[in-house]
Chains A and B, each alone.
Chain A
Amino acid sequence: MEAGSLTPRGDRSVLERSPRERAADPIFRAVLLGLGLGVLAIILYFFIKLASESSDAFSKFGVLGFTFGADWDVSRLQFGAWPLLFGTIVSSAIALIVGVPIAVATALFVTELCPRRLRAPLSILVDLLAAVPSVVYGLWGFLFLVPHLRGFQQFLADTFSFLPFVGGTVAGPSYFIAGLILAIMILPIVSAITREVVSRVPVEHKEAALALGATRWEMIRMAVLPYSRAGITGASMLGLGRALGETIAVTLVIGNSPSIGKQVFDQGYTLAAVIANEFGEAANQPLHKSALFAAGLVLFLLTLAVNAAARAIVQRSERGQRAAPAEAAGAAPAAAVGA
């Protein structure tokens, strides 16, 4: 009777917790909130620190003068980041051009075409590409790809010399090799997200296309691709964000020459690679160090912009897809094109 009684014991009910016990909840909440706010503080501090460290370079050369200056010469203390920015953009663009079609093809093949038994093993194999560290890709690119692809690069340069930005004598390490390595590195992430997006296409849309007499490819083209276009775009942008910031593998295969290449088979440099290579020697030269921080800040802002765009696209496509079943329930698959 005593134990289960609801009668007041002293001045509070037995069901009521002691003040000390009640304090535990707010404390727990405050600790977790503190962790969350800590993350905000770190990122803000990170940004402020980066900006203040790079202010010397920006005030000496001007923000635009630094970012788009064409001369990066350590011995004359002349720092213009355009050759690096250019190399970053070109190598990442090559990565997208080579990597995205292959990644999307893989995702479509795995989800729509291959026998069900092969689905899981193939997905795991593609995902394994992400488990290889970037320094190992760099090692492989440097000691295998660069020497073995010299002839292939020269062949491409000669054959397609009518294109702008192609032709002439190839260097061993180049934008092209860096782009290839980056393509391999973004493949798993782009492919995994695309697989996810494609598998969310309502089965009714696909069956409707097949019932209307579409072949498998026509079904993919008319029902699957329009529905997942935004998601695939977002996946590619996330891959791009990854490629822009990749450091070690690129450092080993791009040649590290701070000049603006005339063609894709020339040697180049990237923002991330210049930091990795020159930071060690820059510690005693304040302007050089500041210029490298400025390069880091430019790189950070570039990836930030690309990632923000990617997230916006993916989120919009997710909202569109959640709304789609309601409005497109009875409609033909083509109705999803606008979604």
Chain B
Amino acid sequence: MSSLPPVSARRLRTDRVMRGLLGAGTVAALIPLVLVIYYVLLKGLGALSWSFFSTDPTGNFLGDPGGIKSAILGTIEIVVLASVIAIPIGIGVALYLVEYGKQGRLAYVIRYFVDVMTGVPSIVFGLFVYVTLVVGTGYAAWKGSVALALLMLPIVARSSEVVLLLVPDSLREAALALGTPRWRVVLRIVLPTAASGLVTGALLSVARAAGETAPLLFTASLVNGTNFALGKPTNSLPLQIFSDVQQAQDRLQQRAWGAALTLVALILLLTLFARLLASRRTV
């Protein structure tokens, strides 16, 4: 039996160095995550209290800056409305692409434009909504929702398309062979089969939208008080953070950290929930 020639020392050294570098790169990627989470917890936990969640920002430069109640409620209000707009439309577009458009030319064009929409910087959507809806009539929560919906729509459409493509054709064919009309096949067979995947994609888009600041700057604006009127300017967590961090005042920056912790916790919960659903996916 002949033995293999030994691997040269130089090659072994290169191997070890490169493996070390790849490992070091992975550690380097995790450092910012650890630092961000650590600092948000460190500074944010100190800001949390019952009154932090139960009072509105006062807007006073001196004295008590108040809490973030209006920002939390505003974010929820704006994001829920944005989801109501974007998720059905996004899934509808995906259904058209998968069930009717398939590989046709129109479907290709729609797919392309959805991709273009994915790449539009969020601040530019803010500008667009400003000129089409805000000019002359003023800021309002629902206009912020429209801006966020524009951002969510392509995410929902593309993720839904991927999931709908996974539904086996045999299911559709079986239903059609039994005489079921096409629309019932889609609504009663395809959608329920793909449901968990659709929910995952939708939740991830909601998580993405909840953290967006730029589209809300000139649409929903920044106010102090809580209100549930969709037609009025409404506060939101990202804008509150953005505004507080630029004030050179410890108390306001402290509130920014607390608000950041709240926002990160909300988004992480949504994301983890979405991933949990995704990992239990049956399709």
A106 contacts B by Cβ under 8 Å? yes
Partner of A139 from the list B113, B114, B257 (CB cut-off 8 Å) is B257
Tally of contact residues, A, Cβ under 8 A: 86
Quote the shortest CB–CB distance from B176 to chain A (angstroms).
11
Residue interface bits B81-110, CB-to-A below 8 A is 1, else 0: 000000001001101110111000011011
Quote the shortest CB–CB distance from B239 to chain A (angstroms).
8
A217 touches B95 (CB 8 A): no
Partner of B93 from the list A25, A35, A213, A218 (CB cut-off 8 Å) is A35
A95 contacts B by Cβ under 8 Å? no
A247-B123, A248-B242, A304-B116 given; A279·B32 CB < 8 A:
no
A247 touches B245 (CB 8 A): no
Residue interface bits A34-48, CB-to-B below 8 A is 1, else 0: 011111101101100
B267 contacts A by Cβ under 8 Å? yes
A245 touches B132 (CB 8 A): no
Enumerate B134-191 residues with CB–CB distance to A below 8 Å. 150, 153, 157, 179, 181-183, 186
A35-B92, A134-B213 given; A15·B183 CB < 8 A:
no
A128-B268, A279-B218 given; A137·B36 CB < 8 A:
yes
B217 touches A139 (CB 8 A): no
Complex Cα distance A33/B183, Å? 13
A28 contacts B by Cβ under 8 Å? yes
Across the interface, which residues of B come within 8 angstroms of A306, CB to CB? 119
A35 touches B123 (CB 8 A): no
Complex Cα distance A128/B204, Å? 12
Complex Cα distance A25/B96, Å? 13
A252 contacts B by Cβ under 8 Å? yes
Number of A-B contacts defined by CB within 8 Å: 241
Residue interface bits A205-243, CB-to-B below 8 A is 1, else 0: 000000001011110100000000000000000000100
Across the interface, which residues of B come within 8 angstroms of A104, CB to CB? 25
B275 contacts A by Cβ under 8 Å? yes
B1 contacts A by Cβ under 8 Å? no
Considering the complex, give the chain B residue whose CB is closest to the CB of A248: B213
Stretch from A70-78, A292-300, A321-329 forming part of the interface with B: A292-300
A128-B268, A139-B257, A213-B4 given; A50·B29 CB < 8 A:
no
Across the interface, which residues of B come within 8 angstroms of A22, CB to CB? 181
A36-B96, A133-B263, A133-B267 given; A25·B183 CB < 8 A:
yes
Across the interface, which residues of A come within 8 angstroms of B118, CB to CB? 307
Considering the complex, give the chain A residue whose CB is closest to the CB of B89: A35
B114 touches A307 (CB 8 A): no
A110, A132, A293 interface centre (most CB from chain B within 10 Å)? A132
A37, A136, A143 interface centre (most CB from chain B within 10 Å)? A136
A50 touches B127 (CB 8 A): yes
A91 contacts B by Cβ under 8 Å? no
A28-B186, A216-B15 given; A279·B22 CB < 8 A:
no
Across the interface, which residues of B come within 8 angstroms of A191, CB to CB? 29
A155 contacts B by Cβ under 8 Å? no
Stretch from A118-126, A157-165, A331-339 forming part of the interface with B: A118-126
A138 contacts B by Cβ under 8 Å? yes
B210 touches A36 (CB 8 A): no
Partner of A32 from the list B36, B92, B120 (CB cut-off 8 Å) is B92
A293 touches B127 (CB 8 A): yes
B22 touches A32 (CB 8 A): no
A244 contacts B by Cβ under 8 Å? yes
Residue interface bits B233-264, CB-to-A below 8 A is 1, else 0: 00000100110011000000100110010011
A105 touches B26 (CB 8 A): yes
Quote the shortest CB–CB distance from B58 to chain A (angstroms).
21
Tally of contact residues, B, Cβ under 8 A: 86
Across the interface, which residues of A come within 8 angstroms of B33, CB to CB? 125-126, 128-129, 132
Across the interface, which residues of A come within 8 angstroms of B127, CB to CB? 50, 53, 275, 279, 292-293, 296
A129, A133, A275 interface centre (most CB from chain B within 10 Å)? A133
B179 touches A15 (CB 8 A): yes
Considering the complex, give the chain B residue whose CB is closest to the CB of A53: B131
Complex Cα distance A185/B32, Å? 10
Across the interface, which residues of A come within 8 angstroms of B123, CB to CB? 245, 247, 272, 275-276, 296, 299
Enumerate B31-57 residues with CB–CB distance to A below 8 Å. 32-33, 35-36, 39-40, 43
A3 contacts B by Cβ under 8 Å? no
A9 contacts B by Cβ under 8 Å? no
Partner of B22 from the list A29, A105, A296, A311 (CB cut-off 8 Å) is A105
Considering the complex, give the chain A residue whose CB is closest to the CB of B115: A311
A58 contacts B by Cβ under 8 Å? no
Quote the shortest CB–CB distance from A135 to chain B (angstroms).
5
A116 contacts B by Cβ under 8 Å? no
A43 touches B128 (CB 8 A): no
Q: A37-B110, A247-B123 are in contact. List 20 more A-B contacts (CB 8 A).
A: A36-B106, A36-B107, A39-B153, A46-B128, A49-B132, A106-B29, A126-B33, A132-B264, A133-B210, A133-B263, A139-B256, A139-B260, A217-B18, A244-B121, A246-B121, A275-B127, A279-B130, A296-B124, A299-B121, A299-B123
Residues of A at the B interface (CB closer than 8 Å) are 15, 17, 21-22, 24-25, 27-29, 31-33, 35-40, 42-43, 45-46, 49-50, 53, 101-106, 108-110, 113-114, 122, 124-126, 128-129, 131-140, 142-144, 184, 187, 191, 213, 215-218, 220, 241, 244-248, 252, 272, 275-276, 279-280, 292-293, 296, 299-300, 303-304, 306-307, 311
Sample 15 A-B pairs with CB under 8 A, ordered by A number.
A32-B93, A35-B96, A36-B96, A40-B110, A45-B132, A102-B25, A103-B29, A105-B29, A133-B211, A139-B241, A140-B35, A143-B245, A246-B121, A272-B123, A300-B121
